[in-house]
Amino acid sequence: MPNFTQNQLQKITTDIFEAGGVPSDEAEIIGELLVASNLAGHDSHGVIRIPQYIGLIDAGLIQPGAPMHIERESTSHALLNGNWGFGHVIAQKAMSLAIEKAKSSTISAISVYNCNHIGRIGSYPLMAAEAGMVGITMVNAGGTARYVAPFGGSDGRLATNPLAIATPTRNGHPILLDITSSVVAQGKIRVAFNRGEPVPLGWLINSEGEPTQDPRDLMESPQGALLPLGGIAGHKGYALGLMIDILGGALSGAGCSGSGNTRLQNGVLMIALDIANFTALDDFYEHVDGLIAHMKASPTAPGFDEILAPGEIEARQTERRQREGIPIDDETWRQIQETAMEVGLSELKF
Ligand code: NAD
């Protein structure tokens, strides 16, 4: 399994997208965000996506360099038409706009449609946390990617509709919730499928509605479904996924599951909250730090070494992979090299 430094993997990614027709400033953003996912340990949203995104560019479904239009706007909100540009680029601009607006309006909401897949959604609320704000991002799939069974159902009707919330802390890394409303992201099934490994019980049902550990039951036909978050309380994950479908897809006009849409997109909602306009930042940090310390002081249950804050695993993994390198599985590396050849890079320099 090859191992790369952050810089090497960013260069590989940026070079492939530039050769694939993406303007260099956009290719840089994509390289940065895909590799940040790998660094954080979310390989499902990292460079494994290069072949998929290049395929979408070739098919004319991602239009690199497309200008983003603000269609409606007030001091505290905007509706953006992404014009089918690169999702990561649109999403980064949308959260930047949310942060700018929240500086004067305290709270802002930006809704986006005609936007391709934005990747790991936790990247965007982290931008707000870095600006001393709370950031919230949620997306649906514009009515496509119907992988998740409704609670009590036996086929895929919803996308994995994720929610991410980040809040700054005084000294440590931000607290980051970044979760799908399904048990796991579909990309995690793709990673297991590429590796030929089984997935844990409780993630999937097959096309008969029976529990299965075989990723082929989602990746191949006849297709089963991912289960909603929550196990025996799956009604909560289902309800969460449904609300995210509405806030991501109905508010923006991207479309909800059942709309009959076939073109994959992320219907996006970005929210920024300027903490300092509610309370002194110092007081806020004191509450947050105290809360986390209180959690960590809980005596650990059998099988656990410590209590973690949301986002801590990713922050630690990022530090480790920045030090030790990012391992890329052989099948993913083979696909990346193949894609490089397809866009005319006979040799990858890194
Ligand atoms: P996951 O199940 O790994 O959960 C991640 C979250 O749980 C993080 O906030 C993490 O810090 C927290 N966490 C994990 N272990 C913890 C522990 N022991 N203690 C405390 N907190 C812990 O991730 P997922 O739900 O499978 O989602 C994976 C990724 O997929 C996310 O980054 C998401 O943004 C992305 N995604 C994107 C799309 C899209 O359409 N753009 C769709 C679905 C998912």
Distance CA 64, CA 79 (A): 20
DSSP, res 66: P
**pLDDT of amino acid 348:** 86
Distance CA 73, CA 65 (A): 22
40 CA: nearest ligand 1 atom = 32
Inter-residue long-range contacts of 250-255, CB under 8 Å, 24+ positions, other chains counted: 251/111, 252/79, 252/111, 252/112, 252/113, 253/79, 253/113, 254/112, 254/113, 254/114, 254/115, 254/140, 254/142, 254/143, 255/142, 255/143
Nearest C-alpha to atom 1 of ligand 1 is from which residue?
A: 179
Distance of CA 209 to the CA centre of its chain: 27
Q: Tell how far the Cα of 350 is from the centroid of ligand 1, in angstroms.
A: 30
Q: Tell how far the Cα of 340 is from the centroid of ligand 1, in angstroms.
A: 29
Place of tokens 């796991």: 184
Distance CA 350, CA 348 (A): 6
**pLDDT of amino acid 194:** 84
Q: Tell how far the Cα of 325 is from the centroid of ligand 1, in angstroms.
A: 21
The one-letter code for the residue type at 161 is N
Q: Which residues line ligand 1 (CB under 6 A)?
A: 42, 44-45, 117-122, 139, 141, 160, 162, 164, 176-180, 184-185, 187-188, 266, 308, 310-311, 313-314
**pLDDT of amino acid 154:** 87
Sketch out the chain's domains with CATH numbers: 1-65+315-350 (1.10.1530.10), 68-182+227-283 (3.30.1370.60), 184-224 (3.30.60.50)
| Pair 24, 18: CB distance under 8 Å | yes
Extract the residue ranges of the chain whose pLDDT is less than 50.
none
**pLDDT of amino acid 283:** 97
Cα distance from N-terminal residue to C-terminal residue, the chain: 17
**pLDDT of amino acid 171:** 85
**pLDDT of amino acid 349:** 84
**pLDDT of amino acid 88:** 98
DSSP string computed for 97-150: HHHHHHHHHSEEEEEEEEE-----TTHHHHHHHHTTEEEEEEEE-TT----BPP
- pTM score of the predicted model: 0.95
Q: What are phi and psi of 142, to 5 degrees?
A: 65, 25
Nearest C-alpha to atom 4 of ligand 1 is from which residue?
A: 179
131-161 pLDDT, tens digit each: 999 999 999 999 999 999 999 998 999 999 9
**pLDDT of amino acid 187:** 80
**pLDDT of amino acid 172:** 84
118 CA: nearest ligand 1 atom = 41
Q: Tell how far the Cα of 311 is from the centroid of ligand 1, in angstroms.
A: 9
